[in-house]
Amino acid sequence: MKKWVLFLGLGSSLLALSGCLFPFNHVAESPTGELAVILDQEGNYNPFPVGGAVWLLGQQGELVRSVLELGETEAAGGLVWSPSGTEMLVTILELDEDFFFPHRWRIVRLPLAGEPEVIRQAEFPLSSPRYDQTGSAVFYLASPGETPELHRLDLSSGEDRVLASDVLSFLPVDTELWLVRPQGRIEDAKGESVASFHCGEEDCRIFLFLWPQLFLDISPGGDFLALVVADQPGLTSPHVDPLTSLYLLDIVQSSAQRIATPAVSPVFSPDGERLAFVAGSPGREQQVFIYELESSQVTGLPGSEGAFWVRWTQGGLLIAVEEEEGCFASGAGTGPAGSRCSPGSPADPAGPGQAHSTTHRVRPGGRMGASPSSASGGHRPKAPRLPSVTQLRGSLGSLAQGDNPGRKGGNRTKGGQLAPPGAGFSP
């Protein structure tokens, strides 16, 4: 397997929310391999950016051009490309100037040649926009009340239809859509149950509505489903926090197995033969693991320590790692061996005879340049641990306690400990 890795520095830890109901800022890849991401006002990556711009990136992580400037009180995320690769969708939140709470949501169409177009606007949460297979319509989720809805918006006529109510997330499977219900049930296009799981807490429903990419994925052929859920502890007293476990479901055989605890960000390879995910264990930084579906072998990816999400691209794996400063390091080029994102960051994962990574630093003003510290060593700062369900809920609750995480210079909640002492990693 080609180990193509992109390291991104950030200013906050896994799901340390910079605002309630903010969309997640993933790097999006077009059908032709172009990358797009939102960078903040300082030109750095943040999972929940406020202000900044939507940028196109080159194959080596270099900045090409911005396609949309964001206002200082606008948050954005959820980038997705059209099937033709000629345009994107982005979800933008307008924030209150005093407390940075979202009060208006917009889904914006971004043609690479042309002006941005607002295709949906509401004063309630909008989430997960994505094109249909033809690119002529957009599916998205809306939550005007207590019951979220799945919509289909025709881009030509403007017709907006509610396809289903009581939907947390949806999964495209060939030409069909599978639905994730708030009751913890996953249904196929016929409405038959594929799997069920415990989703009684509000945080479970919020996470699946806003950031489904971090918690579930389906294989290209629709035969396997990867799902991250909160396992309830067997001990009832004293209190023990639930841990997020990754399960692999065989849809054809109607069977399931637990792959790792704690874990997050499952994603299948384009050929459907492997599953990448982020996991950890006590006393060790979380990192990316690769699970081979045929052999059930699990392999850790060297150089991915401190990862908090992973995606599979046409060039290989794309990994987000927390660093002290914002920086990119792409491993598809032929740069010097042992390149580092910043002093103390992971060593180059490539071994002898393999492609080595070339390191770049994102500088203020959106300029990219070779890192002056690419050959330096040093101590790597300890990355945040995968938080427990209770700690994730606490991050959301901190907003109600007067914190102002989204505001520039304001407080930002941090992720908690990996797990209580004694919690293990499986297998």
User: Radius of gyration (Cα) for the chain, nearest Å?
Assistant: 20
Q: Is 396 helix (H, G, I), strand (E, B) or coil?
A: helix
Where are the domains positioned within the chain?
6-401
CA dihedral 249, 255, 259, 261 (to 10 degrees): 90
Closest CA to 201 of 386, 400, 393, 15: 393
Distance between CA atoms of residues 292 and 273, nearest Å: 6
pTM for this one? Answer: 0.74
pLDDT digits (tens, 9 = 90+) for 394-418: 322 222 222 333 333 332 222 222 2
Query: Could you give the CA distance from residue 83 to residue 172 in angstroms, rounded to a whole number?
Result: 13
According to DSSP, the residues that pair with 227 across neighbouring strands are 216, 247
Cβ 341 vs Cβ 323: under 8 Å? yes
| pLDDT value at residue 68 | 96
Question: Strand 35-39's sheet: what is its strand order?
Answer: 28-29, 35-39, 50-57, 63-81, 87-95, 102-111, 117-122
How does pLDDT run across 288-312, given as a tens digit for each residue? 999 999 999 999 998 888 888 999 8
What amino acid occupies position 181?
R
The two three-digit tokens of residue 189, written as one number: 């296009």
Asked if pLDDT for residue 273 goes beyond 90, the answer is yes
Q: Which tens digits make up the pLDDT trace of 35-52? A: 999 998 888 888 889 999
With left for phi above 0 and alpha for psi between -120 and 50, is residue 99 left, alpha or beta? Answer: alpha
Give the pLDDT score at 201: 77
More confident residue, 384 or 125: 125
**Antiparallel, parallel or unpaired: β 307-313 and 316-321:** antiparallel
CATH of 6-401, one of 2.30.110.10, 1.10.3720.10, 2.120.10.30, 3.40.980.10: 2.120.10.30
* Tens of pLDDT, residues 43-102: 888 888 999 999 998 877 788 999 999 999 999 999 999 999 999 999 999 998 888 889
Report residue 324's pLDDT band, with 50, 70 and 90 as the boundaries: low
The pair of structure tokens assigned to 61 is 């992580």
**Residue 48, strand partner residues:** none
Q: What is residue 20's predicted lDDT score, i.e. its pLDDT?
A: 55
pLDDT tens figures, 200-218: 778 888 899 999 999 999 9
Look-up: residue for tokens 């206002």?
A: 71
